Amino acid sequence: MARYFDVHPEDPQPRAINQIVELLTSGGLIAYPTDSCYALGAQLGNKEALDRIRTIRQLDDKHHFTLVCKDFAQLGQFVQIDNDVFRAIKAVTPGAYTFILPATREVPRRLMHPKKKTVGVRIPDHRFVQVLLAELGEPLLSSTLLLPGQNDPLTQGWEIKEELDHVLDAVVDSGDTGAEPTTVVDFSGGSAEVVRRGMGDPSRFE
């Protein structure tokens, strides 16, 4: 049964944050709110949680997982990014965008696209996530909480607990969240390609 954390959206309680971090570092899998919609999250090196996410979402090995980062200093450790791409990403970050970029050696191989050696990264504009990442001290392995056969993600904490109670370790509720996944922009080919239209305005990358 998943634990349920009711976290203040503007001033997250330190005790709750510490408990969520402890759960993550002990191998747990959580559902948590972002500035776009809910996501599944786990510690970066947690292979079991990665397999659990694949099972919940019925994903194949070509799916791009996302590293949710606190800031550009952290993001820069995990992806290769040139000055032009940096400026383009900086202009809309933090925000509801995921960027696909060539991975560095810091990224576990199982998180990369098997052929392209790329990974998704993003910096969300969400108070709870920022506080959680600061306490965790590393990016969060993440995937949009979009269930098989559904076009729209789940957006309510209680709804997620009801639906996925048996396969998650915790659900975090921290007020309203968006109702769409992020806009995904692939920079791995050298220029911007919008591969999913979502919450972030895609027009500046088209």
Give the class (CATH, top level) of 3-205. Answer: alpha beta
- pLDDT at residue 179 in the model: 86
Between 170 and 206, name the one with better pLDDT: 170
- pLDDT at residue 177 in the model: 84
- pLDDT at residue 148 in the model: 93
45 Ramachandran zone, left/alpha/beta (phi>0; psi -120 to 50): alpha
Whether the predicted pLDDT of 164 surpasses 90: yes
Whether the predicted pLDDT of 13 surpasses 90: yes
Delimit the domains of the chain by residue range: 3-205
Question: Beta strand 183-186 with 193-196: parallel, antiparallel or unpaired?
Answer: antiparallel
Confidence of residue 63 (pLDDT cuts 50, 70, 90): confident
- pLDDT at residue 169 in the model: 98
- pLDDT at residue 122 in the model: 97
Confidence of residue 23 (pLDDT cuts 50, 70, 90): very high
Whether the predicted pLDDT of 155 surpasses 90: no
Report the pLDDT averaged over residues 36-44. 96
**pTM to 2 decimals?**
0.95
Taking the CA atoms of 69, 103, 57 and 49 in sequence, report the sign of the dihedral they define. negative
Which strands sit side by side in the sheet containing 3-6, from one edge to the other?
3-6, 170-173, 30-32, 39-43, 140-144, 66-68, 118-122, 97-102, 183-186, 193-196
Whether the predicted pLDDT of 198 surpasses 90: yes
Contact 118/188 with Cβ under 8 angstroms? yes
Provide the token pair at 187: 């920079």
**Structure confidence by residue, pLDDT tens digits, 93-115:** 999 999 999 999 999 999 999 89
- pLDDT at residue 61 in the model: 82
